[in-house]
Amino acid sequence: MKTRITILGSTGSIGVNTLDVVARHRDRFEVVALSASTRVDLMVTQCAQFKPEFAVMASDAHAGALEQRLRAEGLPTRVLRGADALDRIASDPGVDAVMAAIVGAAGLSPCIAAARAGKRLLLANKEALVVGAEFFLEAVRAGGATLLPIDSEHSAVFQSLPDDRQAWDARVDKIILTASGGPFRERAVATLRDVTPEQAVAHPNWVMGRKISVDSATMMNKALEVIEARYLFGLPPSRIEVVIHPQSVIHSMVQYRDGSVVAQLGTPDMRVPIAYGLSWPERIESGASRLDFSRMADMRFESFDSGDHRARYPGLALAWDALAATPGTTAVLNAANEVAVAAFLDRRIRFDQIHAVNVETLARVSGTRPATLEQILALDRQARDCAQSLVQSMGA
Ligand code: NAD
Ligand code: MG
């Protein structure tokens, strides 16, 4: 029996890598549905290659354009539109597995729909967990879904942990997430205010979407990953640590009670964690090149307390601050950061102002513990409004 898959965000970096792995195993996987926001051309190509039953576009205009193109090419894929359609393809009874590869909080609703429907849920969309962890994890429990991490660090931790979840807390001392340090690890801190969007998205080790690339440069990506790790693995934030490892060969580690450290290594290629998520507990070919140990003489590690890294990456500490505050604060942080990164990419604020927007939004938007998903989404909107007005008042 083939595994029937929906890919949310199929035209993005993770989506394209997922289809690359799927294409190597057409005997194991069948694509039921794809989704994208705006890239009609690439969606037509993907529909021609994978013949999905459904393709979802975010807007009417893009859905209309896709429908015309598919008809012209004689392709039978049905085009759906809008956010409700994402929930539908994530929870379709004919689907076994869902790759969640939309960027940002927009991916939360289909993640919850897939979780409630008991799917095998491959989570790349870390923001969904950061925004709605409590409701997301409750949906996973209620639906009996299998949640598998795709983020390379979390896949590495998952691969380094014992199979028996009940043993995690007792046996594990701490989780150590690695961070490459991004493109500005050696740049003078005083010049970070002059960073351009082009410089910020040029990551030294990974080719990724624009938003996560900027997050890697500010280290907000690692802050989101600390929050993601806290919820995926259930250890308290004080037992999650971050170490800079510029080569991105060790993808993360688990330190056990006896002092042993178990790590997962590999070339920096997202097809490895994607293939693991698709095949777990088995292993399948990913297409990634193999590590060449003869060329790995230079494996380096830096602490965040060394040099001026605390000043270079002020956003990292916000993860522990937000986790210690009222539940819902991680959603505020994520919303502020999404607005700030978009404004930076539009050249409306400077690179160093991303952190200023995040800190100020956290100071201004707080409240009581959200009791429902609707209240979380309201908090997300409130934080976005606040961050937008801060962006306007800053003006680059
Ligand atoms: P990307 O920008 O390349 O792709 C995003 C995808 O989501 C696209 O298909 C786009 O059409 C779709 N999308 C965007 N906004 C949408 C909306 N409002 N509604 C519906 N669809 C929308 O991003 P990416 O780099 O592939 O990252 C995707 C997710 O995976 C992010 O959460 C990111 O943090 C995470 N992730 C990515 C990598 C990586 O190597 N790229 C690694 C780890 C985790
Ligand atoms: Mg990562």
Out of 18, 88, 103, mutate this one to test ligand 1's pocket (max ligand atoms within 8 Å of CB): namely 103
Sign of CA dihedral 388, 349, 58, 10: negative
Tell me which residues of the chain have a pLDDT lower than 50: none
Location of structure tokens 């609707």: 374
CA–centroid distance, residue 267 to ligand 1 (Å): 21
321/342 Cα distance (integer angstroms): 23
CA–centroid distance, residue 327 to ligand 2 (Å): 23
Cβ contact 339:391 at 8 Å: yes
CA–centroid distance, residue 196 to ligand 2 (Å): 22
Residue count of the chain, please give it: 396
User: Using a 6 Å cutoff on CB, does residue 280 contact ligand 1?
Assistant: no
User: Using a 6 Å cutoff on CB, does residue 206 contact ligand 1?
Assistant: yes
Task: Convert the pLDDT of each residue in 366-379 to its tens digit.
Answer: 878 899 999 999 99
CA–centroid distance, residue 396 to ligand 1 (Å): 26
29, HSE (Cβ side, Cα atoms, 13 Å): 23
222/209 Cα distance (integer angstroms): 15
Question: Does pTM surpass 0.95?
Answer: yes
Residue nearest to atom 4 of ligand 1 (CA): 12
Quote the distance between the C-alpha of residue 374 and its chain's center: 22
Out of 6, 8, 13, mutate this one to test ligand 1's pocket (max ligand atoms within 8 Å of CB): namely 13
204/182 Cα distance (integer angstroms): 7
User: Using a 6 Å cutoff on CB, does residue 12 contact ligand 1?
Assistant: yes
Task: Convert the pLDDT of each residue in 145-178 to its tens digit.
Answer: 999 999 999 999 999 999 999 999 999 999 999 9
CA–centroid distance, residue 78 to ligand 1 (Å): 23
Q: Which of 364, 133, 309 is nearest to 226 (CA)?
A: 133
194/196 Cα distance (integer angstroms): 6
User: Using a 6 Å cutoff on CB, does residue 212 contact ligand 1?
Assistant: yes
In the chain, the amino acid numbered 273 is P
389/387 Cα distance (integer angstroms): 5
39 CA: nearest ligand 1 atom? 11
* Helix intervals (H) in 4-54: 13-23, 40-50
User: Using a 6 Å cutoff on CB, does residue 205 contact ligand 1?
Assistant: no
User: Using a 6 Å cutoff on CB, does residue 36 contact ligand 1?
Assistant: yes
Angle between helix 126-143 and 373-394 (nearest 10): 180
